[in-house]
Amino acid sequence: MRKILVGIKRVVDYNVRVRVKPDGSGVVTDGVKMSVNPFDEIALEEALRLRERGEAAEVIAVSIGPEDAQQQLRTALAMGADRAILIKTDAVLEPLTAAQAFLAVIVKENPDLVLVGKQAIDDDAAQTGPMIAALWDRPQATFASKVEIKGGTAVVTREVDAGLETIEVDLPAVISADLRLNEPRYVKLPDIMKAKKKTLDVIDLATLGVSAEAGLKCVLVEPPKPRAKGIMVKDVAELVDALKKKGLV
């Protein structure tokens, strides 16, 4: 395999308590810590391992987002990606639009494999992977927990509700990473220094002929109803009693 493209999304860090804006127009992102979507880190780790096993020659990190998404691409380069591409847009793209933009990079780079996270932890849509595969007219293997490359095919174990499903897909294909696929490596300081010298190309979304316009209208963003306040019990006996009364144990 020559080339793997990995999708890297810039999202609000998982340690941040997300707050809804009082006017219901969205969530507060100003001054909030941003990170690489954790499931995309797993996708990138898998690509790096495939390269380290000699299954792939080059790993390219691709992000779609604002100028600042370069930070997340630098993190991807520090983890070990060979180069990076940012499709720059200030608009918040729907998954279908993101897939169209990603496809434009696919057409240009002609990869053998596209790896993405199963979902991003901001919109939780879980759409972009399958949508890229559909537009590309290639196989998809979502929720992957194991990937084996065998010549021109990938044998992928998928985490499905009924258990573990194994499918075989011809390459090129799109694979989306689930939690169990691997545990991403930590970035070391020398790698961060090295990453600064790696190539990071910035392409404006408009030059790809993809419209950033949303198909869905966002009517309202609201916080969920808070949980009712609970009670403190004094010891194990009281706790077990309470649970027994509710029929829970």
Partner 1 sequence: MSKILVIAEHDGTKLSQATARCVTCAAQVTGAEITVAVFAAEPAAVAAQAAALAGVAHVITITAAHNAHPLAAVLAPQVVKIAAAYTHVFGASTSFGKDLMPRVAALLGVPQISDAMAVEGAYKFKRPTYAGNALVTLEAPADRILVATVRTASFEAATGGGSAPISAVSVDAVVPTHTRFVSISAQATTDRPELTSAAKVVSGGRALASKENFELIFSLAGKIGAAVGASRAAVDAGYASNELQVGQTGKIIAPELYIAVGISGAIQHLTGIKDAKTIVAINKDPEAPIFEVSDFGLVADLFQVLPEMEKALG
CA atoms in the 13 A half-sphere facing the CB of 192: 7
Window of 46-54, 66-74, 106-114, 219-227 that interacts with partner 1 by CB under 8 A:
219-227
* Dihedral sign, Cα of residue 10, residue 13, residue 16, residue 17: positive
Residue 191 C-beta: closest distance to partner 1, Å: 19
| Burial class of residue 121 in the structure, from the number of CB atoms within 10 Å of its CB (0-12 exposed, 13-18 middle, 19+ buried) | middle
CA angle 200–201–207, rounded 5-degree value: 160
> Is residue 246 a contact residue for partner 1 (CB under 8 A)?
yes
> Is residue 249 a contact residue for partner 1 (CB under 8 A)?
yes
Window of 45-53, 60-68, 77-85, 118-126 that interacts with partner 1 by CB under 8 A:
118-126
> Is residue 227 a contact residue for partner 1 (CB under 8 A)?
yes
> Is residue 146 a contact residue for partner 1 (CB under 8 A)?
no
What span, in angstroms and rounded, lies between the C-alpha atoms of 163 and 144?
12
Which is nearer to partner 1, 82 or 94 (by Cβ)? 94
Site for partner 1 in 80-109 (CB under 8 A): 94-96, 99
Residue 216 in tokens: 């869905």
Please state, in angstroms and as integers, the Cα–Cα distance from residue 207 to each residue in 59, 68, 90, 147, 230, following that order. Answer: 24, 19, 14, 34, 55
What span, in angstroms and rounded, lies between the C-alpha atoms of 245 and 64?
52
> Is residue 245 a contact residue for partner 1 (CB under 8 A)?
no
> Is residue 34 a contact residue for partner 1 (CB under 8 A)?
no
Residue 45 C-beta: closest distance to partner 1, Å: 12
What span, in angstroms and rounded, lies between the C-alpha atoms of 112 and 2?
7
Site for partner 1 in 47-86 (CB under 8 A): none
> Is residue 242 a contact residue for partner 1 (CB under 8 A)?
yes
Residue 31 in tokens: 């001054």
Site for partner 1 in 159-178 (CB under 8 A): 159-170, 173
Binding partner 1 (rule: CB under 8 A), the pick from 59, 89, 139, 210 is 139
